[in-house]
Chains A and B, each alone.
Chain A
Amino acid sequence: MSPREIFALRDHLGAELKGRTISDAHDVVSLTDILSHTVLGGRLRELSGRAVLLKLSDQLRSGLVMIELDGIARRMLLCPPDLNPAHLDALIADAGIDAVVTDEPDRWADTCVPLVVVARLPLQAIAPAKSERATEWLMLTSGTSGVPKIVGHTLEALTGAIVAEGPARGQAPVWATFYDIRRYGGLQIFLRAVLSGGSMVLSDPHESLADHVARLKARGVSHISGTPSHWRKLLMSGSAAQFAPAYVRLSGEIADQAVLDGLKAAFPNASVGHAYASTEAGVGFAVNDGLEGFPADYLGNRNGVEMKVTDGSLRIRSARTAHAYVGRNAAALTDADGFVDSGDIVELRGDRYYFVGRRGGIINIGGLKVHPEEIEAVINRHPDVRMSRAKSRRSPITGGIVVADVILTEGTDQARAKEIRDEILKHCRAQLASHKVPAVIRFVEALDVTPAGKLARTDA
C-alpha cells in the first residue's frame, strides 16, 4: 500500500490550530506540536508492523500512544483499566500480540511478549514520523463475565460518524467524557477532539466528582459525554451548578425521558442529545430533539447507516461497524447480509421507537419475560426519583417477583418516603402489566455502576 493512501490519526493533526491540549488531573500536553514529539522514548520504529498491546495505567499516555502508533503498528489492542489480569494471556494469544507499550516494564520482563516499550512523560522532541499502513484498532467488549471479546475496527470505521457530521462550527470545542477513552464511548470523544480541532479533558478514576467538575469548568469544557448513569450521579452530587457546557451527550445505556429532562433543567443553555452506539455496531445515530427513543423513519438507509428491526432487536449495517471479532474461536460479528445484531430490544409506539432493554438482560417473573429497564423508565418519571434499578427476587409462590431499588432526588424529605412509594406504585400499576409492578420498593443511597459507566445488573 502506498503511504499516500493512508490517513492516520497524525494526519488529522495539522499545526494550523494553536493552543490545543490534552490533559488529565496531573498533566497538560500541547497537541499543537505533538507530531514532533514522542511518548515512546523515540522507539516508534521498533513497533512498525507489530501487533501492540496498550497496557498503561493512565488515559493521557494511552491517548498519546494511539496518536503516535496509528499508521505505524499493524494493530493495537486497547486495554481498559478494569480488565481482569487473568484474561490477559488469552487476549495476547488471540490478538497475536508481539509487543507491549506499558508504564510498568518490570511486569513484562519474564513474559512471552518479545518487545517491551515504555511510555513516559514528559514528551521528547523527535523528527515527525510518516504513516505507513492502516492500523487495525482492537477494542474489548464490556461484558461482565468471561474473557471479553476482541472487536476489530479501522480508524475509518471509528471516525465515520465524526467525519459525516463535519467540523464543529464556531469556536473549537473542548471535549470531555466520563468514560475511559480505551472504551468505545470514550474513544469516540477522544477521536472527536483530535479530528475536530479541539482539546480534550480526560477523567481520572481517583478524583472525586466535585474535583472533576471543578477541573472541567477550569479547562473550559464545552462538549461532554457520559452514560445516563454517569449523568444521574452528577445530578445527584449537586456538583453540576455553575458548570455550563454547550453540548451534553448521553450514550451507552437507555436515555429515558427523566434523565433527558433532568439534564435540560440542570443545563438550560445546553443542547442535550443522546447517541446510539456500541463497540460492535459503531455509531448508529444521534437524537437531538430532547425526546427518548428515536423517530421511526430512522429505519432504512440514512446517512450511510442502514437499520432494521428483526425479532424485536435493532440491527445495523454501515461502514462504521466493527469488521470482525478477533481470535481463535471468534464468532461471526455480522449476519450473512452484514448486519450487526445490537441485542437492544425496541418497541414501536406511534411514530417513534423506544428502547425497552437488552435481550440478554431479561428477567423471568413467573415464566413471563420482563425488561428491568422498562420498569425503571416508569419509576424514573416520578419527579422525586433520580435513579432506580429493577431486578428479580425469588419467590416461593411465583418463582420470581420484581423488586426495585430507588434513589430519591437530592434533598427529598425522608418523611415523604411512604407517600412517594405509593405514588410510584400507582404510576407503575397505571402503565405496566401487573407482573411488572414492583412488589417491594426499597429506597437506597447509592446503586453500583460498572467501570464502563453502566448500572450494574449482576442478576441479569
Chain B
Amino acid sequence: MSVRSKVIEAIQQIAKEQNVTLPELSDDLSLHETGFDSLAFAILVARLEDEIGVDPFTISEDAAFPATVGDFVRAYANVPA
C-alpha cells in the first residue's frame, strides 16, 4: 500500500470513530476543513507512526505543521521510512 493510501485510510478510520463527516479528501483541502480537532490529529499521527514507522513532525525540528491534506501526505512521503 502506498504511503498516500495508508494516510487516507487512517484519516477515514479515525473520522468514523470520531463521528466526523469528511469532505472529499483532495490535496488542496485545508486540514482545518477536514473537521478534525487537535486530538483527532494527535491520534492520526500516533497511528501513522506505528503503521509507517515515522513521525515526521517530531523528527524534524523546523517542520511546520502542514496546512493541507497534500502537505500532510507529503510530510510522510518525504521521510525515509
Contact = CB atoms under 8 A, between A and B. Distances in A.
A434 B38 CA distance: 12
Contacts of A411: none
B57 to A, nearest CB: 4
B39 A396 contact: no
B42 A397 contact: yes
A439 B43 contact: yes
Interface string B54-72: 0101100000010000000
A401 interface: yes
B57 A401 contact: no
A420 to B, nearest CB: 14
Given A425-B17, A429-B17, A439-B43, A397 B50 contact: no
B17 A401 contact: no
A228 B46 CA distance: 30
B7 interface: no
A394 B57 CA distance: 12
Contacts of A435: 39
Interface residues of B, number: 14
Given A434-B39, A435-B39, A440-B50, A397 B45 contact: yes
A425 to B, nearest CB: 6
Interface string B37-55: 0110111011100100001
Nearest to B55: A396
B74 to A, nearest CB: 16
Contacts of A439: 42-43, 46-47
A125 B41 CA distance: 73
B42 A398 contact: yes
Contacts of B50: 440, 442
A194 to B, nearest CB: 52
A403 interface: yes
A393 B50 CA distance: 12
B33 to A, nearest CB: 17
Interface in A359-380: 366
Interface size class of A (residues with CB under 8 A): 10 to 19
A401 B58 CA distance: 14
Contact of B47 (A366, A396, A429, A440): A440
A395 interface: yes
Contacts of A366: 38-39, 42
B47 A395 contact: no
A25 B65 CA distance: 60
A429 B14 CA distance: 13
A397 to B, nearest CB: 4
B47 A401 contact: no
Nearest to B37: A434
Contacts of A397: 38, 41-42, 45, 57, 65
Contacts of A396: 45, 55, 57-58, 65
A394 to B, nearest CB: 8
Given A403-B46, A440-B46, A398 B17 contact: no
Interface string A302-315: 00000000000000
Query: Which one of A398, A434, A435, A439 has the highest number of Cβ atoms from chain B below 10 Å of its Cβ?
Result: A439
Interface in A333-371: 366
- Which of B38, B39, B41 counts the most chain A CB atoms within 10 A? B39
Interface string A425-439: 100010000110001
Contacts of A440: 43, 46-47, 50
Contacts of B57: 396-397
Nearest to A396: B57
A440 B43 CA distance: 7
B55 A398 contact: no
A22 B45 CA distance: 56
Nearest to A438: B43
Contacts of A393: 46
29 contacts: A366-B38, A366-B39, A393-B46, A395-B45, A395-B46, A396-B45, A396-B55, A396-B57, A396-B58, A396-B65, A397-B38, A397-B41, A397-B42, A397-B45, A397-B57, A397-B65, A398-B39, A398-B42, A401-B42, A401-B43, A401-B46, A403-B46, A425-B17, A434-B39, A439-B42, A439-B47, A440-B43, A440-B47, A440-B50
Given A395-B42, A398-B39, 18 more contacts: A366-B38, A393-B46, A395-B45, A395-B46, A396-B45, A396-B57, A396-B58, A397-B41, A397-B65, A398-B42, A401-B39, A401-B46, A425-B17, A429-B17, A435-B39, A439-B46, A439-B47, A440-B43
